[in-house]
Amino acid sequence: MIGDMVIKMQKIMNNKKTISILAILLCLLMLLCGCKGKSEEAPAEEQSDEGISTLYGDESLGIDPAVDEQLKDYRLIALFGIDDGKRNDMDIIISVNKNDGTAKLVSVIRDSYVQILEETADHGSAYNRCNLGYARGGKYEAMKVLNRNLDLNIRECICVDWPCAAHLIDTLGGLTVDVDEDMLDWINKGANLKQYNVENYKIESAGVQTLNGWQAVQYLRVRKYDNGGTIARAHHNEDVFLQLYDQAKGMSAAEIAEVYDEIADELDTNMSRNTLTDTLAQIATTDIEKTDEWPYEWTQMEDAENGYRVPMSLVSNVKELHKVMFGQEDYVPSTVVQEINDGMIEKEKSLVEF
């Protein structure tokens, strides 16, 4: 793709046991009764009776009409984990098959090199990490980035930030983990929560202990531990939220409702109260299949300031996503994806391999 440069290709192996932070948060939210958070009505989907055509596409969300029609039997929901810089550092897509109720989950890695916005003086290059979508335009821009770059029709999302995660953990009585010495060093090196005006977020010693909400957030934020980077963080988050999920499963409906009342105002979602409640109840009865992290094949590259996970290529990775998530064996990516792919090739000429 870049002259004669030798490209190191990496393929992430399928691991259905690997569940990212927001996947478990979703499972926890599924158990919660009632929804009173700050929410908006999601754009209504055009329904049709026999003989009446359905309108497809939504330019404001980057949804291509042809893509929308092909995915008419699927409902897609995005789950965003928002960091303290208002970046969507964790992007999870849940796909629910409307016909049989089955669901699949895919995580989009935060460093994935995609097209964010048109190139402007204010924002610089249109090509950057996918985690800049929320920072540049909120939840709607974050959904638009995924729709345009991956040929999807996401219309609904749930966003959870660090304060919400900390509040949830405190409300559930803390988090019991075994912190080893090496991880302890990384956790406390990365401690930088003064902007939240909180205290007692450093972990003083290694070993089995119960962490408070902000200590648990520090634990969740670690990326450099064990040289695993972004993938390592997603993997050890599994243990954290599986524990929270187990705690929630042992609670009564009334107790769970009280927990939800504590965090409802901190959720950022465009789903109405009834829509969110009904959706979570529906997915709660479904076994969600964890498919993989996206992109599937990529090369690690950087410019003067940033490191990127560059899809090899965007077209082939989108084709594989549609095969895995929707069973589309011979999927042909949209013109938009083709154009983004071509622009990406030009931009990559200024990048260097790690």
**How far are the Cα atoms of 142, 171, 245, 266 from residue 242, in angstroms, in the given order?**
26, 16, 5, 21
Positions in the chain short of pLDDT 70: 1-53, 118-125, 190-192, 200, 223-254, 256-257, 260, 273-274, 276-287, 304, 354
Classify domain 10-348 at the CATH class level.
Answer: alpha beta
Q: What's the confidence (pLDDT) of residue 36?
A: 43
Q: What's the confidence (pLDDT) of residue 48?
A: 42
Q: Model confidence over 122-179: pLDDT tens digits?
A: 655 689 999 999 999 999 999 999 999 999 999 999 898 888 888 888 888 888 888 8
Burial of residue 110 (CB within 10 Å: 0-12, 13-18, 19+) is buried
Q: What's the confidence (pLDDT) of residue 185?
A: 80
Q: What's the confidence (pLDDT) of residue 193?
A: 72
Give which of 70, 47, 8 is closest to 325, Cα–Cα.
70
Task: Kindly list the domain boundaries of the chain, sorted by start residue.
Answer: 10-348
**How far are the Cα atoms of 77, 129, 240, 271 from residue 69, in angstroms, in the given order?**
17, 28, 38, 22
Q: What's the confidence (pLDDT) of residue 35?
A: 39
The dihedral built from the CA positions of residue 269, 270, 273 and 276, taken in this order, carries a sign that is: negative
Q: What's the confidence (pLDDT) of residue 267?
A: 83
Strand partners, 281: none
Give which of 213, 240, 280 is closest to 32, Cα–Cα.
280
Task: Quote the CA–CA distance of 5 and 16 in Å, as a whole number.
Answer: 34
Task: Quote the CA–CA distance of 267 and 24 in Å, as a whole number.
Answer: 15
